[in-house]
Amino acid sequence: MEKVRISKLMSERGLCSRREADSYIERGWVRVDGVVVSELGARAFPDQVITLERAAQARQTARVTILVNKPIGYVSGQAEDGYQPAVVLVTPRSRAANDRAPLRFERGHLQGLAVAGRLDIDSTGLLVLTQDGRIAKQLIGEDSDVEKEYLVRVQGRLAPNGLALLNHGLSLDGKALRPAHVTWQNDDQLRFVLKEGKKRQIRRMCELVGLKVIGLKRVRIGRVALGDLPLGQWRYLRDHEKF
């Protein structure tokens, strides 16, 4: 059995992100089999017990996750081509009136926010911005198994076996897509449930079976739904909510 970087083990176990692990190790907030580790790059065996000091746990608890109902015309991450990032919507004025989280908005809540699952500029719906590396890894890590649900308005003529192909059988960029769950909601709207998120995946999938997407809205990520969050507004993820 070979030793592995402790930061990698911590990330794989969902304790935190690798970057956070390095930060905690530097501060002496990580123990391996009860012994404090403070050397960056230190390694441990995969079967050793890794625990976090209370200071690290407290820092994680203080990190916020924000849910935004993104309108068309905003990019998910960094500003590009003159378009604003969705994070500019996170202001005291645009906080949803029905946000029941007890948190008071602070400017510090905007620092270090990562987009956990992008939406393209022409799409709307649930966008997750988080300071918590554990949540980011859970939603967009390579081995993420969290469902994302979309309502997709389409036009065009669906290929004879198009619905079956949308569920399983299509490839993008030379790689087979994971099985999806795609059904008709009504005459011009499909419901997609995916466990992956390639760039413009749904739009490209639809093009392959003769359809053009004219409206796309993400309504759920895991067990967290968009619900009645108004367009262009945001709220905090509540303590009891888990993706």
Q: Which residues are catalytic?
A: 120
- Sequence-distant (6+) residues with CB within 8 A of 191 are 149, 150, 151, 152, 182, 183, 184, 185
Terminus-to-terminus CA distance in the chain, angstroms? 34
- Sequence-distant (6+) residues with CB within 8 A of 6 are 21, 25, 30, 32, 37, 42, 43, 44, 50
Q: Which long-range contacts (CB under 8 A, 24 or more apart) does 54-57 make?
A: 55/27, 55/29, 56/16, 56/24, 56/27, 56/29, 56/30
- Tokens matching residue 73: 């015309």
- The answer to whether 151 and 94 are in contact (CB under 8 A) is no
- Sequence-distant (6+) residues with CB within 8 A of 181 are 167, 192, 193
Distance CA 165, CA 150 (A): 17
Q: What is residue 218's three-state secondary structure?
A: strand
Sign of CA dihedral 97, 99, 102, 107: negative
